[in-house]
Structure 1
């Protein structure tokens, strides 16, 4: 792996573990096995490197979600595949956790990939739900946009509950609960 790649990957890991504030340039350099000169040769500074890391993480999250959303099955089956895919629940969402970081939220450049990812996810969920409704899989009265926001809120809240409990069980219960609500809106 090249030095810029090691720096980006190390930053991604540290942002997920410690957040932006807790991720120092020295910690990035140590984890990447790179010197200060190398870091500043490839990146203008911590914000530039963090932006590259956040952008990559957001892109990977979208690609992983799209794999389930565009897969086979009904709308509810595809959403279930997305919600139940393998994830490190106790570490939380690598993008969602950034919303708790005041420095990321205060910086428009760092905040942009977070906001864009959540907007994309809401829109993609809504489109899968609308497709299910249009195919007669879901009740005609189902509001795809509101339901997509609910699914996202349950997912992010499930991470929080799991982290607070130190157990994945609250996350699984939240996912099962929202899928039960979706199942109740399947067309007869």
Structure 2
């Protein structure tokens, strides 16, 4: 029962953070969504910040694992980047990690912000490594630096989420991704 209550609390917090942000996620809402009482919450976690940190870490780990599943696959650099960009996403909900960057309480807390920063840094680094592979093999033509291309990929994804949410349609995200892939394709020697 103990692990089950802890897991339910973390999962409920993850969902609420994604939907409402940190400020909009009250301990009472977490307890209701998890079907757990106040005593159970404070038995497992010292408070909302501790529980939120566990939820943010879990979300960051899952995002990295999903990204790595596409980026670490076989094939040339372009194909792996394409697989990552085209993977299934809940576009209208936005990026569960990227959305946290818009939450002033998360950004103000070095502890809560750390898994967000680490994940975005990891993603840019992982993408830069793949772009560099493509540059080194001659698949991509220069001169852009791999780090600049990687940042452009991440910025396009995050911006695509914003545009899709604003329009209430995933079409804006899809258009941004297709445009980025067209730019990357123009730099390949395929």
The TM-score, its normalising length taken from structure 1, stands at 0.98
Offset, 1:132: 1.1
Q: Which 4+ stretches in 1 moved above 2 angstroms? A: none
- Name 2:22's counterpart in structure 1: 20
Q: How far apart, CA to CA, are the structure 1 residues paired with 2:8 and 2:137?
A: 46
- Gaps (5+ residues) in structure 2? none
> Is 1:183 equivalent to 2:157 in the alignment?
no
- Name 1:93's counterpart in structure 2: 95
Q: What is the aligned counterpart of 1:55 among 49, 54, 57?
A: 57
The TM-score, its normalising length taken from structure 2, stands at 0.97
Q: Deviations over 1:115-141 (max 9, x none)?
A: 000000000000010011111111142
- Name 1:35's counterpart in structure 2: 37
Pairwise CA RMSD:
0.9
Offset, 1:187: 2.5
**Greater alpha carbon shift after TM alignment, 113-122 vs 134-143:** 134-143
Secondary structure of the residue that 1:2 maps to in structure 2? helix
Q: Deviations over 1:97-130 (max 9, x none)?
A: 0011000000000000000000000000000100
Q: How far apart, CA to CA, are the structure 2 residues paired with 1:77 and 1:89?
A: 21
- Name 1:116's counterpart in structure 2: 118
